[in-house]
Amino acid sequence: MRISRLRNLVTARPTLLLRDGAPIEAALREQRVTMDEVRQAVRSSGAGDVSSIGAVVLESDGSLSVIPAGKLGNGSSLGGVRGFDD
């Protein structure tokens, strides 16, 4: 139980940075991520238009996960992501 609490303090919770093509400015500022970095992740995912993206998540390991709007479904994979269920 003690280790679990410590892990929560040390490990960052995934954070939603973009939802339905719109940036979440407060999250971007708090996590110190630029829209250029978000756009780069969108391009790397093969998408050409930010408005076609359902969500971009800054993961605990620092990577950006890009979920196209057509594949977001009910968003159940975003459970536990800060900014989605808060």
Q: In the prediction, which pLDDT does 2 show? A: 55
Q: Are 64 and 35 in contact (CB under 8 A)?
A: no
pLDDT value, residue 12: 83
Buried b (16+ CB within 10 A) or exposed e, 26-55: ebbeebebeeebbbebbeeeebeebeebbb
The 10s digit of each residue's pLDDT in 15-67 is: 999 999 999 999 999 999 999 999 999 999 999 999 999 999 999 999 999 99
Query: CATH no. for residue 60?
Result: 3.30.240.20
Assigned domain for 54 exists: yes
Looking at the domain assignment, is residue 7 inside a domain? no
pLDDT of residue 85: 79
How many structural domains comprise the chain? 1
Let me know if residue 66 belongs to a domain.
yes
| Burial degree of 78 (CB within 10 A; 0-12, 13-18, 19+) | buried
Which domain covers residue 33, as residue numbers? Answer: 12-71
Residue 6 banded pLDDT, cuts 50, 70, 90: low
Whether the pTM exceeds 0.75: the reply is: yes
Asked, for residue 35, whether it belongs to a domain, the answer is yes
User: Is 23 a member of any domain?
Assistant: yes
Closest CA to 18 of 5, 31, 2: 31
